[in-house]
């Protein structure tokens, strides 16, 4: 049994193969026979790694989250359209 020494894609006569460090291959595998420099007889040491940090998209029960949204283009933060006459017609004027 041979073990890969590298991580990545390896070009050889049969195309390209992705190797991961420590991945095992039989001694008579064509890639091992063609590229012995990429493999070792020794079993690699286990690599310790922490679990990836995953951001939660939803709040846990009882958890409060504050979100401040950016105003969209053309609308000020007040929510009223920019420019224009506002509420002049709603004041009960005669409009004449």
- Tens of each residue's pLDDT in the chain, 96 residues: 999 999 999 999 999 999 998 999 999 999 999 999 999 999 877 666 677 778 777 888 888 877 777 777 766 656 555 555 555 555 555 555
- The greatest distance separating any two alpha carbons of the chain, rounded to the nearest whole angstrom, comes to 97
Contacting residues for 3 by C-beta, under 8 A, at least 6 apart: 22, 23, 24, 25, 39, 40, 41, 42, 43, 44
Q: Cα–Cα distance between 6 and 32 in angstroms, integer?
A: 13
Closest CA to 3 of 42, 37, 54, 56: 42
Has this prediction a pTM greater than 0.75? no
């Amino acid at each position: 049994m041979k073990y890969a020494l590298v991580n990545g894609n390896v070009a050889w006569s049969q195309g390209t193969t992705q190797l991961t460090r420590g991945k095992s291959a039989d001694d008579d595998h064509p890639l091992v026979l063609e590229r012995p420099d990429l493999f070792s007889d020794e079993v690699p040491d286990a690599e310790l790694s922490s679990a990836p940090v995953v951001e939660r998209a939803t709040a846990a029960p009882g958890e409060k989250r504050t979100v401040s949204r950016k105003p969209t283009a053309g609308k000020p933060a007040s929510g009223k359209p920019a420019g224009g006459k506002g509420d002049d017609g709603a004041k009960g004027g005669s409009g004449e």
